[in-house]
Each structure stands twice: as structure tokens, then as C-alpha cells.
Amino acid sequence: MIVGTPIGNLGDLSPRAVEVLGAADVIACEDTRRVRQLLTHCGISARGRLITVNDHTEAGAVPGVLERLEAGETVAVVSDAGMPGISDPGEQLVSAAAAAGHVVQVVPGPSAAVAALVVSGLPAGRFAFEGFLPRKGRAREERLAALARDRRTTVVYEAPHRVRDTVADLLVACGPVRRIAIARELTKMFEEVWRGTCEGAADHLAGTEPRGEFVLVVDGAPEPPPPDAGAVEAALRTLMAGGADKRSAVALVAAQMDVSKREVYEVAIRLS
């Protein structure tokens, strides 16, 4: 059983989650101390039922969990907060259990990504979840560039000691006027949601000491301007004069100018 747990406010734990955790033979968790606190809050005994499954131990824990499932035991998987597998351990356990033919069920619960998205005020119909960006190097540059081009709203997790650098990088990649929301300590006592532009976000963080866990919600890239029919026509004429057939010319111009093939094809028809 994959069990979602509160991201801050313990009152967000669902009655079904309490029932499942109380009935589980084993609870696989990132930090036994935090889960003991949660179970104590619910009046559930943790004695002899907790095993540690974190980023460093998950792969090694898989065989033991599968043995328990084969023996008919019920295993509940939780993370420190939110949904296991979403920038937290759990994905490898689920994959292995499903591949071995075991029934894997989920008890839905809080998610910082979804909570930040819906409170951001930014479009939520289509979105991408990036989790934590690579910390440095080419991998980080490539992910930031892809994020800047993506027309969907993007959700990014960040730690307090790195959030200023990440917002500064987003400012460079997305430009000063791209909209962004900064959600901090969601559902907790000092919950804060700041909304504005990338430039404003950098100024906001410069004036405060970042504390707590952050979720950044970045607006999608703006729609590109309509294609310049004259430029499309000129590009087609050049390619076709050089011997390219209509189909190849249309495909190449569409790719080079980021225009739909249908629009380029309509121009090609007029030319012929």
C-alpha cells in the first residue's frame, strides 16, 4: 500500500490512511523517528513494524519487502511527507512489487507539487513536474532551457539554501517578466505564497532569509507569434529552387521556423 502522508498539517491525514497504517504488518519509511511521531499522533503502535527505506537503502530493501509480500504480509510505504515516489523513495518498491505480480494499491494524500500548483494562480490544466533540478553543470543548463521553452506550467522543488540561485537561473532562462509563484512551508504555521514575476521573485528572496521547504511554480512559455507568411514563402522558394521536393521543403521549413506543417503546406500549395 502506498500511503500519502501530511506535508505539514497532521490534520490532513485521511481516515483511510490511519486505518491502513494501523493494520499494516510492516511500514517502510524514510525516517523512523518522523513516522513514529505520526503514528503516535494517530494512536498507533510502531513497535517492531518499521523498516528504513530511503534514497540510499531502497534498492537493497526490495528483496526483503518482496519476501514479506510473498509471505502474505501487508506492507505500507510512506515518505517523510507527501506521496512516496514523488521526489521521494518508493518508485523502486512499487515497480518491483508490480513486476512480481503483487497487488499495489494507493491511499491518496497530500502532495506539495499539486498543492502549490492550485494555489499559485497559474494555469493548472496542463503542467510538468520537474522535482529537484540538477545542481550544476550541463544537465542543469539543459533542464532550465527545456523548462523555459515548455508552454506548460512547471513545478520545481527547491531547498532553502539553493532557492535564491535557482530563481536567479530561472530569471536568466525565462526572462524577467515570466510569471512565477513561490510557495513556502505549505499547510504549516508559517505558510507563505508569493506571486509575481521572475525579476520580482529574485528581489523578494534577496530581502528575506529563505527558510523551510520551497515549491516554485513557473508559468509556461508564451505562445509564439503567428508565422510570417512572407518569410515562409521565401524559405520554400529557396529550397524548391535548389531541387527540394514540396514535401521535404515543407517539413524542413516547418522545423526551422517552428511553424505547423499544415500552415507551411498551405503556402506551398499557393506557390504551385
Task: Name the β-bridge partners of 179.
Answer: 197
16: helix, strand or coil: helix
Cα–Cα separations (whole angstroms), residue 166 to 170, 214, 249:
6, 11, 41
Which has more pLDDT, 259 or 126? 126
Cell 498543492, located at residue: 115
Q: Which tens digit of pLDDT belongs to each residue from 114-148?
A: 999 999 999 999 999 999 999 999 999 999 999 99
CATH architecture of 112-218: 2-Layer Sandwich (3.30)
Long-range contacts of 36-40 (CB under 8 A, 24+ apart): 38/5, 38/6, 38/10, 38/13, 38/78
Read off the pTM: 0.82
Per-chain mean pLDDT for the chain: 94
The span from the CA of 173 to the CA of 170, in Å, is 5
> Hey, what long-range contacts does 250-258 have (CB within 8 A, 24 or more apart)?
257/227, 257/231, 257/232, 258/224
Lowest mean pLDDT among 24-33, 77-86, 178-187, 235-244: 235-244
| CATH placement of domain 2-107 | 3.40.1010.10
